[in-house]
Amino acid sequence: MGTIGSRYRVLIVDDEEPMRLLLAHYMKEALNAEVSLAGTCEQALHLAKAESYDIILLDLLMPGIGGFEVLKRIRTDSANKSTPVIIVSILATSIAGDASTAYERAMALGANEFVAKPVTRNALISAVKGQLRIKI
């Protein structure tokens, strides 16, 4: 884990490149973070298995196996089992055909926090710093 003066390692998982780049900008600007980007679920799982991160920002609406399954696999089989995961998703309410909310489902799978899209810089930085226990 990073300490004062060190660089935090952040994995950003989102299939939309503009969102990945925006989140990367926020992390670099606020934390001087070293950022890895994943645009697919497969890339995310590969990176999560191979590298240790201080925090993971994860979108839920992803093609392929989807963000919920990525979260589940990170929590069960990766170098990041205990790494804080912040869900960054437009799915703030319910999932079609599912009585539980995306928030409840993500938390049940081991997410640490949920930031709804559209993301505001301050909400995201606050959530990240809270998970990293950095004084704001």
Do residues 43 and 15 make contact, with C-beta atoms less than 8 angstroms apart? no
Give the model's pLDDT for residue 122.
Answer: 96
In a domain, 1, yes or no: no
Within a domain: residue 119? yes
At 1 the pLDDT is 46
| Residues lower than pLDDT 70 in the chain | 1-6, 92-100, 135-136
Q: Which pair of tokens denotes residue 99?
A: 């009585």
In a domain, 2, yes or no: no
Residues 71, 63: Cα–Cα separation, whole Å? 14
Q: Give the number of domains in the chain.
A: 1
pLDDT score of 135: 57
Residue 20's CATH number: 3.40.50.2300
Is 53 part of a structural domain of the chain?
yes
- Amino acid symbol at 97: G
Output the pLDDT for position 98: 56
Domain that holds residue 22: 9-132
The pLDDT of residue 2 is 43
Q: Does 24 map to a domain?
A: yes
Q: Is residue 92 within 8 Å of 118, Cβ to Cβ?
A: no
Query: Is position 4 within any domain?
Result: no
Residue 37 is given by DSSP the state E
Please tell me the predicted confidence (pLDDT) of residue 63: 94
